[in-house]
Amino acid sequence: MANNPLWYEQVVIGGLFFRPERFYELNLTADQFFYPETRNIWRIVEMLAAHGKPIDLVTVCEGMESANSEHPLHSAQFVKQMMELNVSGANLHVYADIVRRLHRDRMAKAAAQTLLNALEKESNEKGGGSDAINATVTALLELYSEARRHEYRLPDAIGQAFEWIDQRAADGAVKVTTGLVDLDQAVGGWHPGDLVVIAARPAMGKTALALNFAHKARVPVGIISTEQPAQQLGLRFLSMQSRVPLQSMRTGSLTGDAYQKLSEATAALHGMPIYIADHSAPNAAEIVAQGRKWRTQYGIDLLIVDYLQRIAVSGRGQRHEEVAQTAIALKNLARELGITVIALAQLNRNAETRSDKRPQLSDLRDSGMIEQEADQVISLYRDEEYNPDTADRGIAELDVLKNRHGKTGVVKVAWLAESLRFENLARGNHG
């Protein structure tokens, strides 16, 4: 009986006849039943519950007769046998959990078999297994997500909160750092499950800021670059690590000990768990699949998407609606995988018409849903882009415009343009 799906499925249905009020508590679907007979009965049970009708021998048998099932049953006798199992309603949740587990096991085996078949095909047809690998990873992650618990009593939630507090105390206040002390203090570092939007006008340095976050995170990071190829990101990382000006590398005008610095930088970067996908116009589904793959293979804790408005959409709806759906997909991905997703976003031109060019939440381009879905919105502003004579040359403002976890406000950091670095300001220079 230990792994006999039919017995457990019969026990669940038979027990439900004695305790029909526990139907919703069991949280089972017909697709989780293996045998056609029990699957069809559960569909009828679902229909009865949806219409507020009693769940008993008479109503289920009537439902089976009117359904004219593809697998005809000797209805009354079959159901009567299940009732004769005399299962205690108190243990129904235990048997329902077993039905769910057996279903997940079957789905996992089916996904594995699909992958094996594709890999066998790959030996004969070059490249035949790549899509199947991605599909298998996605299927297994969906099974994992399905297995996670989503309903809690308040004491359970409080218990989890204390576990989180204890873990923070053991690991330090910030698990995944932004790399900038004042920003860490403002937002508490990056939080699992959060969608963070970094917003700015073009040429402010959004990509450079995101790469600085990746460079200093000290955890595995995935970067999806829609605008720049991997080679360009490689140059930027080399410049940040070595402090050799990016322009010198671009023009090939390296002097002095630059090559030595680059060699040392290469060795340091080689050990960093940073993974890059440079799709020019990925859609939301492709980004989700890539994030799941990296989480499974490399355990990424941070996913950076550069940038939100370049993600491909169907073109069949309003632009703001499609960008909204993308933002929702990224937020759901962050929650599903337990990672932080940082999405870069363009601001519209509204700021250009104001005397103070600093961004506002209303400047987010294409969709107010970006603001709604984001746990944090941080704008990037450098006054020297608008005022060449400013006293704040070499200073960038990170304005926490929205923060579900705490305060908002401006954090000032140093901007080292030649090597694309954002650094902590000396304590006397915060202004």
Strand order in the sheet with 340-346: 274-277, 221-225, 302-306, 340-346, 195-200, 376-381, 395-403, 409-416, 421-423
- Helix axes 319-337 and 130-147, enclosed angle (nearest 10): 70
Of the candidate ranges 93-102, 241-250, 330-339, 420-429, the one whose mean pLDDT is the lowest: 420-429
- Neighbour tally for 220: CB within 10 Å: 20
Least confident of 375-389, 401-415, 417-431: 417-431
First to last CA, the chain: 72
Q: Any idea of the CA torsion for 231, 236, 240, 246, to the nearest 10 degrees?
A: 110
- pLDDT tens sequence across 276-308: 988 877 788 788 888 888 888 889 999 999 877
Q: Are 304 and 276 in contact (CB under 8 A)?
A: no
Predicted TM-score (pTM) of the model is 0.66
Could you give the domains of the chain? 1-151 (1.10.860.10), 175-429 (3.40.50.300)
* β-pairing verdict for 409-416 and 421-423: antiparallel
- Please write the tens of the pLDDT for every residue from 108-122: 888 888 778 777 776
